[in-house]
Amino acid sequence: MGLEENLPSGILLTNLEKFVNYSRSASLWPATFGLACCAIEMMSMGGPRHDAARFGMEVFRASPRQADLMIVAGRVSNKMAPVLRRIYDQMSDPKWVLSMGVCATSGGMFNNYAIVQGVDHVVPVDMYVPGCPPRPEMLLDGILKLHAKIRGETFVEQGSK
């Protein structure tokens, strides 16, 4: 961010870091990126039963420019990979990627020529959620772990990503 060079180090900046990280984690807006069956569980996570609004992330943004988190829900085919990368590039910093389900994580049971064997070949992934598909609680667990990870981040780490 370049902020840490201009401000004196010490208590001010650490507290600022904590405050900024808390704000980021408490309103993490996901981009809609449902690719397959996992998207159904992702929608269920946003719905009233599991209610992602409890964590300030009920607004699934249709525009990547307004989103902070890309939940890659489903298998990524080779044809979809460049699209996924473009959407990731269009998201504004800071941004995070959550790989939902085994297909996005490693290709899962689709070990074949059509499927990218893990979305981390295309974009950097911050959290892997296994399961086929993961139940909404499983996804919430991954998201909460990601929240904890964001709260522990420093500005330097975020800038170097």
Sole binder of another protein in the list 8, 54, 113, 160 (CB under 8 A): 54
- How many residues are there in the chain? 161
Residue 13 or 55: the one with the smaller Cβ distance to another protein is 55
Nearest to 144, CA basis, from 93, 98, 78, 91? 98
Residue 86 or 135: the one with the smaller Cβ distance to another protein is 135
DSSP 33-96: -B-STHHHHHHHHHSTTT-GGGGT----BSSGGG-SEEEEES--BTTTHHHHHHHHHHSPSS-E
Q: Does 48 bind another protein (CB under 8 A)?
A: yes
Answer whether 99's CB lies under 8 Å from 127's CB: yes
Q: Does 144 bind another protein (CB under 8 A)?
A: yes
Q: Does 65 bind another protein (CB under 8 A)?
A: no
Q: Does 41 bind another protein (CB under 8 A)?
A: no
| Residues in binding contact with another protein, number by CB under 8 A | 33
Answer whether 27's CB lies under 8 Å from 55's CB: no
Residue 89 or 137: the one with the smaller Cβ distance to another protein is 137
Sole binder of another protein in the list 20, 58, 81, 145 (CB under 8 A): 145
Sole binder of another protein in the list 105, 123, 150, 158 (CB under 8 A): 105
Closest approach of another protein to the CB of residue 14, in Å: 23
Residue with tokens 């911050």: 126
Sole binder of another protein in the list 8, 9, 11, 111 (CB under 8 A): 111
Q: Distance (Å, rounded) from C-alpha 141 to C-alpha 118?
A: 20
Answer whether 39's CB lies under 8 Å from 76's CB: no
Q: Does 112 bind another protein (CB under 8 A)?
A: no
The footprint of another protein (CB under 8 A) covers 48-51, 54, 102, 105-109, 111, 118, 120, 126-132, 134-138, 140-142, 144-146, 149
